[in-house]
Amino acid sequence: MAQLDIVDVRKVYTLPRDGQRVEALGRIRLSVDQGEFVSLIGPSGCGKSSLLRIIAGLESPEEGQVFFDGARVTDPSPRRGMVFQEYALPPWKTVAANIALGPKFRGLPTAERDRLVKKYVDLVGLRGFESRYPHELSGGMRQRCALARTLANDPDLLLMDEPFAAVDAQTREILQEELLRIWGEHLPPRERKTVLFVTHSIDEAVLLSDRIVVISARPGIIRECFVSPLSRPRSEALRSSPEYLRARDHLWSLVKQEALKAMQQRAAD
């Protein structure tokens, strides 16, 4: 049985400037199993981030429903943790205070909060930086802190909206490897968290994912749900393997078609 069920979800926005209604998402139907890593790719404006926010309970769909562990999603929940592109770290709080934020809101005692901070500081490799503020960290370190803050809430589902887009290429590759380690790709699926990951990078999606969902140009619908042929654990050497290159080329051919459609739409607008 799937852990996450997205049933005919459709999203329409009303533009404040002229009241025009824009259909961001067509009818999306997708199921995700426990411990699965699924990436969403597609051109800008195809509704990937909107879908993530609907699953998080931060927005409501125009039509359709989302179910998590059989219960309908209507509001945000710590069981569905979200990691944003822009870190979203309160700048007046230290690394330790940011990570402790969720456990504090949940009413956990100080000793338990301190234990969780230590656990996740170590997990994301920020030991020694507990007293630093976000502006004192590199982009990669800020994103590690954002991930640790989300994990400290012990969510069952990780929703990641282009989390590595704002860092340099070298840091991005390191963070990809770190994410696979933290996710626990050596573990059986029942011991992993479920991940839904939005990215514009096809290489990133191929490296990380069990399945890659290609979303069409607006209104976004599922063009293809691609099952990765790559075994786990993934390694750096995998990037030059024939299976990796074939998967990347196939996905690029689909995304390129949809990106061209999106460019034509923007020109018409």
User: pLDDT tens digit string along 30-55?
Assistant: 999 999 999 999 998 889 999 999 99
- For residue 90, give both structure tokens: 């309160």
Cβ neighbours around 246 below 10 Å, total: 12
Pairing of strands 194-198, 157-161: parallel
Which has the closest alpha carbon to 25: 46, 42, 6? 46
pTM of the complete model beyond 0.85:
yes
- CATH 3.40.50.300 at 33-58+157-268, yes or no: yes
pLDDT of residue 260: 92
pLDDT beyond 80 at 1: no
Cβ-based burial of 195 (10 A; exposed 0-12, middle 13-18, buried ≥19): buried
Cβ neighbours around 10 below 10 Å, total: 19
Read off the pLDDT of residues 171-188 as tens digits, 9 standing for 90 and up. 889 889 999 999 999 999
Distance of CA 70 to the CA centre of its chain: 21
State the first-to-last Cα distance of the chain, in angstroms, to the nearest integer. 42
pLDDT beyond 80 at 267: no
Read off the pLDDT of residues 6-23 as tens digits, 9 standing for 90 and up. 999 999 998 888 878 889
| 94/135 Cα distance (integer angstroms) | 10
Which has the closest alpha carbon to 12: 27, 25, 30? 25
Task: Find the mean pLDDT for residues 92-113.
Answer: 94
pLDDT beyond 70 at 56: yes
Which has the closest alpha carbon to 104: 126, 158, 96? 96
Backbone angles phi, psi at 188, to 5 degrees: -70, 155
pLDDT of residue 15: 80
More confident residue, 161 or 85: 161
33 SS3 class: coil
| 232/187 Cα distance (integer angstroms) | 10
Name the percent of the chain in helix, strand, coil, to the closest 5: 40, 25, 35
Cβ neighbours around 170 below 10 Å, total: 9
| 94/91 Cα distance (integer angstroms) | 8
| 203/225 Cα distance (integer angstroms) | 16
Task: Find the mean pLDDT for residues 185-196.
Answer: 93
More confident residue, 161 or 171: 161
Residue spans of the domains in the chain: they are 33-58+157-268, 86-154
